[in-house]
């Protein structure tokens, strides 16, 4: 049994010492469609994972301004970067989860990623999983595929076993991708699961893509989650996109009619 020996280093506040046995590490930051953070947050909530540490904001995040409320300046609200732990009832592995509210400032990514991995190594992490979005030529009503990348060849075969489509070339932006590179430098295997979402809806939260990557992760780790809440959120989001697209079509039709009226003197409007 691996016991955690934490070094209380600078920049990290520990609330408790997690006792995990060779845990899987899942890390997520905001990105397109909020796919990664939604998936990791849903997993944390369903497992009732307990917070055990937090990275102090320090100079990792910019202070772009302050809020005025009731004639007074509020204290700055900097992004949170928290670690959670979950002890498994076998056969699933123990899990450590990291969720960041925001990406660090430009130029601070490498230092931040190394600090995250410092804690992961101390806790005894054996494998890293991150999530991301894969913009694709699909419609918002379609079931998204899950794509994957890995740091080592044997993990590619694992992805294929679970029906994941392999991403041969490309780029994964932000720390959801670059943390994998830092992990590989430290000899830790990593996987990124990417949920498809439409090109035209990358700025809209996509719980359907989050659900897709969680289903694959659940199968890989033998964890079974009740996805009802996520399914309802996906249905609501899909309905909102449908409503928005109908509105756009109606506005285009009205604009065309007005343009036709301008060209046709007999058209009254």
d(CA 67, CA 123): 38
H or E stretch including 43?
helix 35-47
Q: Across the strands, what pairs with 190?
A: 128
Superfamily, domain 12-226:
PAC-like subunit (3.40.50.10900)
In tens digits, the chain (269 residues) has pLDDT values of: 344 445 555 689 999 989 899 999 999 999 999 999 999 999 999 999 999 999 999 889 888 788 888 888 988 888 999 999 999 988 889 999 999 999 999 899 999 999 999 999 999 998 999 999 999 999 888 999 999 999 999 999 999 999 999 998 888 888 999 999 999 999 999 999 999 999 988 889 999 999 999 999 999 999 999 999 999 999 999 888 888 878 877 778 777 777 776 665 554 44
Task: Write out the two tokens for 151.
Answer: 């740091």
Strands lying side by side in the sheet with 95-100:
12-14, 50-55, 81-86, 95-100, 24-28, 127-136, 189-198, 146-150, 165-166
Q: Across the strands, what pairs with 196?
A: 134
Q: How many helices (H) and strands (E) does the chain have?
A: 6, 11
Per-domain residue ranges of the chain: 12-226
For residue 245, what are the CA distances in angstroms to 174, 215, 233?
A: 30, 28, 18
């Amino acid at each position: 049994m691996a016991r955690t020996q934490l070094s209380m280093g600078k920049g990290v506040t520990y609330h408790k010492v997690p006792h995990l046995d060779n845990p899987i590490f899942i890390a997520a930051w905001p990105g397109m469609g909020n796919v990664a953070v939604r998936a990791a947050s849903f997993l944390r909530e369903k497992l009732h994972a307990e917070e055990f540490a937090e990275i102090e904001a320090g100079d990792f995040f910019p202070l772009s301004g302050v809020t005025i409320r009731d004639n007074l300046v509020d204290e700055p609200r900097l992004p949170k970067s928290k670690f959670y732990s979950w002890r498994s009832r076998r056969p699933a592995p123990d899990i450590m989860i990291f969720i960041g509210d925001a990406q660090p400032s430009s130029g601070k990514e490498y230092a931040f990623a190394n600090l995250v991995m410092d804690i992961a190594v101390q806790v005894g992490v054996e494998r890293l999983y991150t999530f991301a979005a894969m913009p694709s030529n699909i419609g918002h009503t379609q079931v998204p595929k899950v794509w994957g990348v890995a740091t080592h060849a044997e993990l590619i075969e694992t992805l294929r076993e679970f029906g994941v489509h392999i991403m041969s070339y490309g780029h994964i932006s932000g720390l959801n991708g670059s943390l994998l590179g830092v992990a590989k430098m430290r000899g830790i295997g990593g996987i990124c699961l990417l949920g498809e979402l439409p090109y035209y809806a990358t700025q809209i939260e996509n719980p359907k893509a989050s659900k897709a990557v969680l289903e694959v992760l659940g199968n890989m780790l033998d964890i079974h989650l009740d996805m009802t809440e996520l399914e309802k959120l996906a249905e609501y989001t899909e309905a909102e996109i449908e409503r928005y697209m109908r509105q756009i079509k109606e506005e285009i039709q009205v604009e065309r009619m007005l343009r036709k009226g301008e060209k046709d003197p007999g058209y009254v409007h």
